[in-house]
Structure 1
Amino acid sequence: MYFLSAGVVLLLFKYLEVGPVAGWSWWVVLAPFGLAVLWWAWADSSGYTRRKQMEKMDQRKADRIEKQRKALGLDRHRR
């Protein structure tokens, strides 16, 4: 996501001819988009994306269970 954001900012600066970016080659300005594609390809092929998705789902499940326990008065920290 960072590569994509950087690419959009650089593209905007190049188009509006702002600062030193106006003199840069188009290849340099468009490079973050290529890096974003490479990152997404690697993340999908290595299982990184799936692993992060599973961690997020597990955390949501644990939070939901903890919320239900508190609602029932069965929270872990008893006096």
Structure 2
Amino acid sequence: MYLLGLGIVLLAMKYLEIGPVAAWDWWVVLVPFGLAALWWAWADYSGYTKRKAVERENARKKARLEKQREQLGLGTRKGRR
């Protein structure tokens, strides 16, 4: 996402001819978009995206369960022995 933001900023600076970016070649300005596409392709291929989504889902589930236990007056579970 950072690469996409950087690409948009550089593209705007090139188009509006702001600062030293105005003198750069177009391919240099467009490189962050290519890198962002490569990152997304790798993240999908490697399972990184799905793994992060599952981690977020598990964290939300855990927080929801803890909140419900607290509302019932059961407290939090520290682990069984």
TM-score (norm 2): 0.93
Provide the C-alpha distance between the structure 1 equivalents of 2:65 and 2:32, rounded to a whole number of angstroms.
41
Task: Structure 2: give runs of 5+ residues left out of the alignment.
Answer: none
* Percent identity for Structure 1 against Structure 2: 65
Matches within 5 A, 1:51-66: 51-66=51-66
Question: What are the ranges of 5 or more consecutive residues in structure 1 without an aligned counterpart?
Answer: none
- Following TM superposition, the consecutive aligned residue runs of length 4 or more in structure 1 with deviations greater than 3 angstroms are none
Q: Once superposed, what is the RMSD of the aligned Cα atoms?
A: 0.9
TM superposition shift of 1:70:
0.6
State how 1:25-36 maps to structure 2 within 5 Å: 25-36=25-36
Superposed counterparts of 1:1-79, under 5 Å: 1-76=1-76
> TM-score scaled by structure 1?
0.95
Give the Cα separation in 1 of the matches to 2:72 and 2:26.
61
Distance apart, 1:28 and its partner CA: 0.3
- How many residue pairs were aligned? 77
